[in-house]
Chains A and B, each alone.
Chain A
Amino acid sequence: MSSTTTTNSSNSAPPAQDPASYFVDLLRHSSPWAAEDSHDREDEPTELNTLNSSGGFLVVSTDKLSVKYASVNLHGHDVGVIQANKPAPVKRLVYYFEIFVKSGGAKGQIAIGFTNESFKMRRQPGWEANSCGYHGDDGHLYRGQGKGEPFGPTYTTNDTVGAGINYASQEFFFTKNGVVVGAVYKETKAPLFPTVAVHSQNEEVEVNFGQRPFAFDIKEYEMQESMKQQTAIGKISVPPNVSYELVRSYLQHYGYEDTLNAFDLASKSTVPPIYIAQENGSDEQDILFALTQRKTLRQLIRNGEIDEAMSKLREWYPQILQDEKSATCFLLHSQKFIELVRVGALEEAVKYGRIELARFFDYPGFESLVQDCVALLAFEHPQESSFGYLLDDSQREIVADAVNAMILLTNPNVKDLQGCLRSHLERLLRQLTVCCLERRSLNGDQGEAFHLRRILNSGKKAKC
């Protein structure tokens, strides 16, 4: 953006300073085109990578899920090592895979672990930096140095051994025959490949990337790990009435007056009665500002009575609708248009659109919504079209929220814009989301993603 500012508000000025444009953005986000943050789907290892292995020393089966040491090992560098085709996925709590030792071969020098992309394919996992391996012949754990440390039992023919990464604790862990052997801190944040190695004649292992049930109960492990976090969170205490206060200020903020009254009435008769400190008396006044008018307008908009809402608004707060090109006007006009489409008054909709919507066509930020609105006309059953989201109840709610915020802004005592746009509850939820995202990004983007929606929709079994 240039630093020059035009003093006269020209027609082409972007409506960026218009507080209600915030709600236009919200509407845009509710369209099916808006990318849902669902990109935490990752590829998982499914088979062994036959292209990058120490070929010559091992033979990979045709299903790429088992390996066998093919020759007689002559010296330490004749390791038959192979990685999975994909690195372990990171956007989760735990990753885990297993091997079944079909034959310990001549010396049982089998290893399981994780290695990074640049790992030298002639070495056992754990012999190189940024790798880690649990070795069958001595039961030692190797992590980056040539020498291992005592770790767990040895393993050989008929044993099932697993290796996993716990992203919450940033640890590698290993299992033998379904029991955890131990865990060790994972220093690297780089992508890691599940890796197995065989190193003496006739050693043979099968790899299980989850295509078959694991010997180890990974679900239970995962549950216990997430319980650890839940327990830590559960121990935190919050001031006793804070939830109650937040709900109350939410109802006030959005002008849900009837709910608020019922809520207040009920909380007077609870045992023990809920006591709210009244020290922030002026805040209370501000948030109650024009409550009844805000409620009335919300009801009208929610009922689709846009003309009535606009005439009331003109009567009570003429300044809000003064600028015919404001985001508030746009939202109300487009909603009116949508309501006409809803009842099938298409001709009237066309007429209305020409008079009231056409002018928004070349407005940056508005044009896509205008286009979506108009596109509704093209469908016999607009509800089922990809523009059907405009006919949702939530659409009306957003328009009502915009009007509500604009009225709050007319309060001469209003201190900050944010306070009118967002309730306390919303500010807390945003803070929560950013904290979780930020923490994860400082952790190399590893671990479970934070999804507010998932939390809100969890634990509810469809009944009734």
Chain B
Amino acid sequence: MSLFWIVFRQLAEIEAMATSKKLITREEWEKKLNDVKIRKEDMNKLVMNFLVTEGYVDAAEKFQKESGTEPDIDLATITDRMAVKKAVQCGNVEDAIEKVNDLNPEILDTNPQLFFHLQQQRLIELIRNGKVEEALEFAQEELAPRGEENQSFLEELERTVALLAFEDVSNCPVGELLDISQRLKTASEVNAAILTSQSHEKDPKLPSLLKMLIWAQNQLDEKAAYPRINDLSTAMLEDPAV
């Protein structure tokens, strides 16, 4: 095929794409929406999955009663999981480690990165509380040997120990380690590991379905103009731009 033909064909395709975008009116679209079969019990499951994964144990219990939806995990395990999460969020890392091991000692055994991050968090808490000597001892005994095994652990250890070098940690380059967000990060890592150990997905399904909706709308935009939902929280249908 000559170059001319290739260019010609591509131009023709581009033109066709510009003009052949299918227009779907609101009326047609609503008819399609009405034809979809959504089961109530499936929506209930989706909500239950959110409550369970995010750890709303009381709400999950109530929802089980009010809607008859069975949770996809033993509700008692949520309480334990949330206790661990909360312990990390409050800075009681030692307590959290103990609780994880009570739940299932394999979680930390099989997950060296998580264990390292918990120990790192413990070091951060010691520094936060001004226990310099204890922090040094802990870093040398517990963290340094692990750092030698793993380059990325070593780098994180360096960053953490650097906290000790500053008098005013609130204004130093590694100060973010002392931020609440660092605790939340560690807490959600533990949370995910516990869920995985319980053969449960670590993330709720609802947010990924919402992502999928945005993705599907974007994909369809390439081929059609149709009523979109732009604001997920109101779920209002907006007319296609013509």
DSSP majority for the B interface? helix
Q: Which chain A residues (409-450) contact chain B, with CB distance < 8 Å?
A: 423-439, 442
Known: A30-B39, A439-B223. A236 touches B206 (CB 8 A): no
Establish whether residues A242 and B233, one from each chain, have CB atoms under 8 Å apart when the complex forms: yes
Chain B 144-172 per-residue mask, 1 if CB under 8 angstroms from chain A, else 0: 00000000000000000000000000000
Chain B 219-242 per-residue mask, 1 if CB under 8 angstroms from chain A, else 0: 110011010010011110100000
Establish whether residues B199 and A461, one from each chain, have CB atoms under 8 Å apart when the complex forms: yes
Residues of chain A within 8 A of B29, CB atoms compared: 434
A464–B205 alpha-carbon span in the complex (Å): 20
A283–B235 alpha-carbon span in the complex (Å): 13
Say whether A259 faces chain B, with CB atoms less than 8 Å apart: yes
Chain A interface size band reads 35 or more
Say whether B175 faces chain A, with CB atoms less than 8 Å apart: no
Residues of chain B within 8 A of A295, CB atoms compared: 66
Residues of chain A within 8 A of B38, CB atoms compared: 426, 429-430, 433, 452
Residues of chain B within 8 A of A43, CB atoms compared: none
Query: B74: nearest residue on chain A (CB-CB)?
Result: A464
Query: A241: nearest residue on chain B (CB-CB)?
Result: B233
| Shortest beta-carbon distance from A255 to chain B in Å | 9
Query: B68: nearest residue on chain A (CB-CB)?
Result: A393
Establish whether residues A232 and B205, one from each chain, have CB atoms under 8 Å apart when the complex forms: no
Establish whether residues A397 and B206, one from each chain, have CB atoms under 8 Å apart when the complex forms: no
Chain B 20-49 per-residue mask, 1 if CB under 8 angstroms from chain A, else 0: 001010000100110011111111111101
Establish whether residues A232 and B215, one from each chain, have CB atoms under 8 Å apart when the complex forms: yes
Known: A243-B206, A397-B67. A453 touches B56 (CB 8 A): no
Residues of chain B within 8 A of A424, CB atoms compared: 233-235
Chain B interface size band reads 35 or more
Say whether A184 faces chain B, with CB atoms less than 8 Å apart: no
Say whether B217 faces chain A, with CB atoms less than 8 Å apart: yes
Say whether B201 faces chain A, with CB atoms less than 8 Å apart: yes
Establish whether residues A435 and B51, one from each chain, have CB atoms under 8 Å apart when the complex forms: no
Establish whether residues B235 and A233, one from each chain, have CB atoms under 8 Å apart when the complex forms: no
| Shortest beta-carbon distance from A2 to chain B in Å | 20
Establish whether residues B233 and A434, one from each chain, have CB atoms under 8 Å apart when the complex forms: no
Establish whether residues B207 and A438, one from each chain, have CB atoms under 8 Å apart when the complex forms: no
Q: Which of A68-76, A260-268, A376-384 contacts B (4 or more CB under 8 A)?
A: A260-268
Q: Which of A95-103, A245-253, A358-366 contacts B (4 or more CB under 8 A)?
A: A245-253
Establish whether residues B213 and A428, one from each chain, have CB atoms under 8 Å apart when the complex forms: yes
Residues of chain A within 8 A of B57, CB atoms compared: 266
| Shortest beta-carbon distance from A125 to chain B in Å | 19
Say whether B59 faces chain A, with CB atoms less than 8 Å apart: yes
Known: A239-B233, A247-B50. A433 touches B58 (CB 8 A): no
Contacts beyond the supplied A243-B204, A261-B62: 13 A-B pairs with Cβ under 8 Å: A37-B37, A238-B211, A251-B63, A280-B234, A295-B66, A393-B68, A424-B234, A427-B33, A430-B33, A431-B235, A435-B217, A438-B220, A460-B201
Closest 3 CB pairs of A and B: A435-B216, A424-B235, A262-B58
